[in-house]
């Protein structure tokens, strides 16, 4: 509470926080404004279909329910995340992108600009696919067919193009909101938007559980929520500190170095990025399967597309499927290692330590330091990645087994993911606020010292004048 009071005492920090809340409110408002040109009567049908889980439930969780409203922000921020994945992978194989990464802020601006271009292109393709899917009714992962027509039987190319362009423009606006929160608000804008999306669905999910399963089920899930919350905070705060010593060196008449420091390596260095990346990749084949020409209604009809859709429904959508658990878990662990390797390069870190005249006690500078850092990083990344996978998979598996295919069980299928994202984003935002508070306090301490020094000098001047 004292930290919160301090936030509102500092005008600049207070304005940043209020600006962030205002932009989140704009996002939530846009998540309930339907796009023009659609039949509003289909929105209620979409909400019912989302309760069946699957890819529509996943999209609803990450869009804050905007997809079930077919709102202006229905695409959410997922196209930007997918674009970020593509750009980071391409940076490994394209020398030009790798050069940009090494150019500092200038290169990062170029990468960010191309990430925007790719994200808008993905949003255009995704908006076209979703609009077509909701127009034709869909099959497969949306619960065996949506059985609705987005245009209410009044389809024409003009209305189709209007919906697609509105969805794409809405995503572009949402991307701008995320970036302006990062620049003028508190925290990472994209993470804040994802946080707002997943948290906004939790009250409705708990209400559904209480209505279908009663108070005891809701209390049991609340206890699970508390246990997961404590465990996630514990792991997210876990850091391995590698000591670094800097040798003394004399430059002119001044002596530099001789200090001790450490390199902090987080147990969960990838944070929530690995689970978001893995979720995007997991549901990519599910989305593609929806546009296959599945004219049959059973596998006996000989329609290959229906067979593919049915297999994907049974193995990539159901949380109690062994293939789903193994495949999703492997994706989370793989992306955790991938993202951690991008964020922390042992070779560059070892070279930087050597250039600064530092060394790790007991480890020779250079190649031996690089190997040591890489070995430590691999050791602490694995338990962190396995923990993230367990948080994402175990609650969904237990709920699928205990609640079956009920709407409550399907809606809570992303329970662990939602908590992990909420806690991860909250901790990062709180750390940023604490850092800014410490900076303000430090500046205030300097200002007070200067004022006291000036007061002492004035009193001495008066005394000497007398």
Q: DSSP letter for 142, please.
A: G
* pLDDT higher at 298 or 345: 345
Q: How far, CA to CA in Å, does 82 sit from each of 273, 292, 403, 412?
A: 11, 22, 32, 24
Average pLDDT over residues 50-62: 62
Residue 152 Ramachandran class (φ > 0 left, ψ -120 to 50 alpha, else beta): left
Check: CB of residue 71 under 8 Å from CB of residue 31: yes
- pLDDT band for position 13 (50/70/90)? confident
User: Which one, of 324, 225, 340, 183, lies nearest residue 273 by Cα?
Assistant: 340
Average pLDDT over residues 416-426: 79
Question: What confidence score (pLDDT) does residue 463 get?
Answer: 46
pLDDT above 80 (res 300): no
User: Which one, of 190, 201, 171, 159, lies nearest residue 75 by Cα?
Assistant: 171
Identify the CATH class of 24-185. mainly alpha
Q: What are phi and psi of 25, to 5 degrees?
A: -65, -40
Average pLDDT over residues 3-7: 69
Question: What confidence score (pLDDT) does residue 52 get?
Answer: 58
The residue with tokens 């990344």 is: 381
Check: CB of residue 285 under 8 Å from CB of residue 323: no
pLDDT above 70 (res 410): no
Digit-coded pLDDT (tens) for 83-132: 887 888 788 788 888 888 777 788 888 888 999 999 999 999 888 888 88
Digit-coded pLDDT (tens) for 316-329: 777 778 888 888 88
Cα separation, 79 vs 127, whole angstroms: 10
- pLDDT band for position 3 (50/70/90)? low
Digit-coded pLDDT (tens) for 183-223: 888 888 888 888 888 888 777 777 777 777 778 877 887 88
Taking the alpha carbons at both ends of the chain, their separation in whole angstroms is: 51
Question: What confidence score (pLDDT) does residue 418 get?
Answer: 77
Does the model's pTM come out above 0.85?
Answer: no
Per the prediction, the chain carries an average pLDDT of 77
pLDDT above 60 (res 233): yes
Q: Count other Cβ atoms within 10 Å, centred on residue 322.
A: 10
Region(s) of the chain under CATH 1.10.3370.10:
24-185, 199-466
Question: What confidence score (pLDDT) does residue 446 get?
Answer: 37
Cα separation, 400 vs 412, whole angstroms: 9
Question: What confidence score (pLDDT) does residue 455 get?
Answer: 44
pLDDT above 80 (res 49): no
Question: What confidence score (pLDDT) does residue 411 get?
Answer: 58
Cα separation, 207 vs 215, whole angstroms: 10
- pLDDT band for position 422 (50/70/90)? confident
The token duo for 422 is: 């909420």
Digit-coded pLDDT (tens) for 135-190: 776 544 444 445 567 776 677 888 889 989 999 999 999 999 999 999 888 888 88
Cα separation, 332 vs 342, whole angstroms: 15
pLDDT above 70 (res 257): no
Question: What confidence score (pLDDT) does residue 185 get?
Answer: 87
Cα separation, 159 vs 431, whole angstroms: 46
Question: What confidence score (pLDDT) does residue 171 get?
Answer: 93
Digit-coded pLDDT (tens) for 336-373: 888 888 788 888 888 888 887 788 888 888 888 889 98
pLDDT above 60 (res 259): yes
CATH of segment(s) 199-466: 1.10.3370.10
């Amino acid at each position: 509470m004292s930290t919160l009071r301090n936030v509102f005492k500092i005008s600049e920090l207070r304005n940043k926080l209020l600006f962030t809340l205002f932009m989140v409110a704009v996002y939530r408002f846009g998540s309930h404004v339907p796009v023009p040109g659609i039949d509003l009567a289909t929105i209620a049908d979409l909400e019912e279909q989302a309760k069946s889980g699957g890819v529509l439930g996943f999209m609803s969780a990450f869009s804050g329910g905007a997809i079930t409203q077919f709102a202006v922000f229905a695409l959410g921020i997922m196209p930007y995340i997918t674009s970020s994945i593509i750009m980071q992978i391409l940076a490994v194989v394209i020398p030009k992108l790798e050069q940009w990464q090494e150019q500092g802020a200038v290169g990062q601006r170029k990468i960010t600009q191309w990430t925007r271009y790719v994200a808008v292109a993905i949003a255009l393709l995704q908006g076209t696919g979703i609009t077509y899917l909701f127009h034709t009714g869909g099959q497969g992962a949306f619960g065996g067919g949506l059985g609705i027509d987005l245009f209410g039987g009044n389809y024409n190319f003009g209305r189709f193009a209007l919906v697609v362009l509105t969805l794409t423009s809405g995503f572009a606006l949402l991307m701008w909101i995320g970036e302006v929160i990062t620049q003028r608000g508190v925290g990472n804008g994209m993470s804040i938007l994802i946080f707002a999306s997943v948290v906004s669905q939790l009250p409705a999910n708990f209400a559904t559980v209480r209505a279908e399963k009663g108070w005891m089920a809701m209390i049991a899930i609340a206890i699970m929520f508390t246990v997961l919350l404590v465990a996630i905070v514990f792991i997210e705060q876990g850091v391995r500190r590698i000591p670094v010593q800097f040798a003394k060196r004399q430059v002119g008449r001044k002596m530099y170095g001789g200090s001790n420091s450490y390199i902090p390596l987080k147990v969960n260095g990838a944070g929530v990025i690995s689970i978001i990346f893995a979720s995007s990749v997991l549901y990519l084949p599910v989305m593609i399967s929806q546009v296959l020409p599945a004219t049959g209604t059973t596998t006996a009809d000989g329609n290959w597309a229906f067979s593919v859709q049915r297999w994907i429904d049974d193995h990539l959508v159901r949380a109690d499927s062994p293939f789903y658990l193994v495949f999703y878990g492997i994706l989370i662990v793989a992306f955790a290692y991938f993202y951690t390797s991008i964020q922390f390069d042992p070779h560059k870190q070892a070279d930087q330590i050597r250039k600064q005249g530092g060394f790790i006690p007991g480890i020779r500078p250079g190649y031996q330091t690089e190997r040591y850092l890489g070995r430590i990083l691999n050791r602490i990344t694995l338990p962190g990645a396995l923990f993230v996978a367990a948080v994402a998979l175990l609650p969904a598996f237990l709920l699928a087994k205990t609640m079956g295919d009920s709407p409550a069980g399907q809606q809570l299928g992303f329970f662990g993911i939602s908590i992990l994202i909420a806690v991860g984003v909250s901790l990062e935002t709180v750390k940023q606020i604490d850092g800014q508070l410490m900076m303000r306090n430090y500046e205030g301490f300097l200002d007070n010292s200067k004022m006291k020094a000036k007061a002492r000098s004035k009193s001495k001047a008066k005394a000497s004048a007398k």
